[in-house]
Amino acid sequence: MASVDLDRPQGLTASQGSTTPANRPAKLTVEPTFCPTDVADPFDTVQWEVRSAAIKDENGGVLFEQTDCEIPAQWSQLATNVVVSKYFYGEIHTPQRENSVRQLIHRVSRTITDWGLEDGYFASVADAENFYRDLTWLCLHQHGSFNSPVWFNVGLFHQYGVKGAKCNWHWNRETQQVEQPENPYEYPQGSACFIQAVGDNMEDIMRLATSEAMLFKFGSGTGTDLSTIRSSKEKLSGGGKPSGPLSFMRVYDQIAAVVKSGGKTRRAAKMQSLKVWHPDILEFIECKWKEEQKAHTLIESGKYEANFNGEAYSSILFQNANLSVRVTDEFMETVERGGKWATRFVVSSDDGPTYEASHLLKRMAECAWHCGDPGVQYDTTINRWHTCPNSGRINASNPCSEYMF
């Protein structure tokens, strides 16, 4: 982002720094690196032009359109369409609506810089300004970009005074407590990826539904491994049979469908995984492909469009999450030797249904070929490569599977 030098007190090494107020870490000096120093305003380093931005469906119907947008001349029309439709704040045709990339980047870069200055990160105001100029230049010239929650949320309160209902949480450094702010945009949600756990009880299963909805509301994605939920083949303590994870996946799927990410037309990002030893593993492997076949039937009738936003796909289940099976080395070795794979009950660890291991792997491949899911996560390898094993095993990932904890 920028060249950073640590202006340390005499005789203090990096390892000796302390975060206590009496002995705070050295502040940052930021030398100008990207934005030319002979240009007064970083936004003057590009040529600007006025364009329209539009998103259309496969039939040419307009799903979104905004005219008279100020865009850097070197930006592609695709970049224009995406940024204007997804990241510009405000209702179209109102004074609150952003109409320039200049506004968007300034809103975020200025807020982040001001936070750094207020929290004492920079050695001087001049260093903070160098940081702002370089950060703005990098975004403006498309050398880097923030994640969606940052563009959605950061700066709305600090630059525009936007307020919302109490619904998120932040860390209060004064009280050393997690608290709910009165205005969620004062402490905006800037993280894109979350990983959550769920317990085998109704209260926690419903808590997960609520927390997922609130993460989607502000533009973030979340992943959960559902292997902790007892299977549909087990028993409840008071008699009867449990619903199993797939039944609750229906609820989670509909929440993700309804709560558009960041309040935009962007779909929610969600990952659900199941370990290969879970008794409901075959149903999990096949669930999305079975639903997909229903959509194919509706489309082939000629009454419904094949568009994934159309009624055929919106009427079926399991379309709003990535699904992955967490396989182990033991399972893959069982496939290699042509053996049988025994599942086990979640609560009692008694034996569950037994399958030909090769059949399970083949069904994973067939269903993924048909509809893209399930993916595979190599549970043994992931935990073998765990860099912080004392913090506990890795059981789940974010929706894109590049974050494990």
Q: What is the pTM of this model?
A: 0.85
Q: Of 36, 60, 94, which residue constitutes the final position of a domain?
A: 94
Q: What is the Cα–Cα distance from 267 to 23, expressed in whole angstroms?
A: 46
Distances (CA, A) of 128 to 30, 31, 118, 125, 162: 7, 10, 10, 5, 24
**How do residues 204-231 score in pLDDT, each as one tens digit?**
999 999 999 999 989 899 999 999 999 9
- Indicate which CATH number applies to the domain containing 205: 3.20.70.20
pLDDT of residue 4: 34
Q: What is the Cα–Cα distance from 343 to 277, expressed in whole angstroms?
A: 4
Q: What is the Cα–Cα distance from 360 to 110, expressed in whole angstroms?
A: 53
- 140-144, 216-220, 310-314: the lowest-pLDDT one: 310-314
How much of the chain exceeds pLDDT 90, in percent?
79
Beta strands of 23-166 (E only): which ranges?
27-31, 48-56, 62-72
Domain-embedded: residue 135? no
pLDDT of residue 311: 87
- Same domain? For 197 and 88 the reply is no
- Same domain? For 221 and 86 the reply is no
Domain-embedded: residue 69? yes
Q: Of 38, 60, 94, which residue constitutes the final position of a domain?
A: 94
**Mind telling me the catalytic residues?**
398, 400, 402
Average pLDDT, the chain: 90
- CA atoms within a 13 Å half-sphere pointing along the CA-CB vector of 219: 21
pLDDT of residue 25: 72
| Tokens of residue 351, six digits | 């034996």
12 has a pLDDT exceeding 50: no
What DSSP string describes 178-235?
EE--SSTTTS-----EEEE---SSHHHHHHHHHHHHHHHHTT-EEEEE-TTSPPTTS-
**How do residues 337-352 score in pLDDT, each as one tens digit?**
999 999 999 999 999 9
- 48-57, 215-224, 229-238, 306-315: the lowest-pLDDT one: 306-315
Instruction: Report how many helices (DSSP H) and strands (DSSP E) the chain contains, helices first.
Output: 12, 13
Domain-embedded: residue 326? yes
| φ, ψ (nearest 5 deg) of residue 240 | 90, 175
Domain-embedded: residue 67? yes
Beta bridge partners of 341: 355
Q: What is the Cα–Cα distance from 323 to 373, expressed in whole angstroms?
A: 6
Domain-embedded: residue 112? no
Please compute the mean of the pLDDT values over residues 43-51 and round it to a whole number.
98
Q: Of 40, 59, 94, which residue constitutes the final position of a domain?
A: 94
Q: What is the Cα–Cα distance from 65 to 181, expressed in whole angstroms?
A: 35
**Helix (H, G, I), strand (E, B), or coil: what is residue 339?**
coil
Please compute the mean of the pLDDT values over residues 71-84 and round it to a whole number.
98
pLDDT of residue 263: 59
pLDDT of residue 352: 94
Domain-embedded: residue 370? yes
pLDDT of residue 167: 85
Close Cβ partners of 220 (under 8 Å, ≥ 6 residues apart): 149, 189, 191, 192, 193, 194, 261, 269
Question: Which amino acid would we find at residue 176?
Answer: Q
Whose CA is closest to 213, among 269, 256, 266, 167? 256
Total domain count for the chain? 2
∠ CA 346-351-355, rounded to 5°? 105
**How do residues 262-304 score in pLDDT, each as one tens digit?**
555 567 889 999 999 999 999 999 999 999 999 999 999 988 8
Please compute the mean of the pLDDT values over residues 144-155 and round it to a whole number.
95
Domain-embedded: residue 85? yes
Domain-embedded: residue 148? no
pLDDT of residue 239: 76
**Residue 148 DSSP one-character state:** H
- CA atoms within a 13 Å half-sphere pointing along the CA-CB vector of 96: 9
- Same domain? For 70 and 209 the reply is no
pLDDT of residue 249: 96
| Tokens of residue 147, six digits | 């994640």
Instruction: Name the residue range of residue 69's domain.
Output: 49-94
**How do residues 154-182 score in pLDDT, each as one tens digit?**
999 999 999 998 888 899 989 999 999 99
Rg of the chain, C-alpha, whole Å: 25
Close Cβ partners of 250 (under 8 Å, ≥ 6 residues apart): 317, 318
20 has a pLDDT exceeding 50: no
Beta bridge partners of 322: 271
pLDDT band at 260 (very low <50, low <70, confident <90, very high): low
Largest CA distance in the chain: 78
Note whether 326 and 227 are within 8 A (CB).
yes
